[in-house]
Structure 1
Amino acid sequence: MKDERDIQEENLMEDLEDPMQARDVRRSLEQLRTIPGVDPRLQEMARELLSGRTGLKDIIENPRYLAALGDNMRELQERDDRMTPEERERSKEQAAEFFRQQEEDTAREDAEREQAAREARENGPKPRHRGGQ
């Protein structure tokens, strides 16, 4: 349940210059916020960013979030170090599938936005003519 409105890519542009990067960051934050088992500090960070209460630049000044990022990076590295070659290959395949799905989602969203913009242009306000002319 969302009690607050999430920011859009445009709001992230204060800290990012690339609109595609802003969209990817927003999507990643949405996933981070909801995936079970994620460090609660990282979920809080995602909620704060998505709500617009804090910005990306503010995160690096917050020791709580920096510690959470560092702790989780170490944990990921330790997991990777323990993986068998088969597990590592399976993980690469899963990552490739994840990124393929992300690309499909991006293409679909772009097409939907383009269609909505086209419809808005085509169905926009028509000039009104006064009678008698």
Structure 2
Amino acid sequence: MAAEREIGDDELLEVADNPEQAASLHKALRTIANTPALGPELQGMAKDVLSGRIGMQDVIGSDRYMHAIGDRLGQMRDAAENMSPEDRRRSEARAEKMVREAEEAERDRPKRDGRP
């Protein structure tokens, strides 16, 4: 069986403001598609977008998918509100590390792209 085609970042520009945002959305969709804990509804949505079976405009316009996204965000909010102080500190440290890594990647991007 042949590997399924995956959309490119440029195909997400219909909902993204710029190529960097499209690349971030693409990465997020891959993460969702590969994270069973998020549930079959969100995983299926991400896989459908990545394969080109549906577009992000379709997702945004779908009550079904927006409801699933809203439910998951509510679960995340509830989990955050019920964190122990130690778990909150660990989570904040992970978030700070991710921000630093993203900032470093952004600073390095012009060098990789051959820009001054």
- TM-score tier, shorter chain, comes to 0.7 to 0.9
Counterpart residue number, 2:3? 3
Counterpart residue number, 2:45? 45
TM-score by length of 2: 0.81
Q: Distance in 1 between matches of 2:45 and 2:8?
A: 16
Instruction: State the AA in 2 paired with 1:84.
Output: S
Cα deviation per residue 1:83-117 (whole Å; 9 max; x = unaligned)?
Answer: 12221111111122234444556647x72xx37xx
Counterpart residue number, 2:33? 33
Counterpart residue number, 2:55? 55
Contact 1:39 1:68 in 2 (8 A): no
Secondary structure of 1:37's counterpart equals helix
Q: CA RMSD in A?
A: 2.3
Alpha carbons of 1:102 and 1:43: their partners in 2 closer, same or farther (altered >3 Å)? farther
Counterpart residue number, 1:12? 12
Alpha carbons of 1:97 and 1:13: their partners in 2 closer, same or farther (altered >3 Å)? same
Alpha carbons of 1:85 and 1:67: their partners in 2 closer, same or farther (altered >3 Å)? same
List alignment gaps of at least 5 residues for structure 2.
none
Of structures 1 and 2, the larger Rg is shown by 1
Instruction: State the AA in 1 paired with 2:21.
Output: Q
Alpha carbons of 1:51 and 1:75: their partners in 2 closer, same or farther (altered >3 Å)? same
Q: Distance in 2 between matches of 1:105 and 1:46?
A: 25
Counterpart residue number, 1:89? 89
Secondary structure of 2:14's counterpart equals coil
How much has 1:67 moved relative to structure 2? 1.6
Contact 2:36 2:43 in 1 (8 A): no
How much has 1:43 moved relative to structure 2? 0.6
Secondary structure of 2:21's counterpart equals helix
List alignment gaps of at least 5 residues for structure 1.
116-133
Instruction: State the AA in 2 paired with 1:69.
Output: I
Q: Percent identity?
A: 34
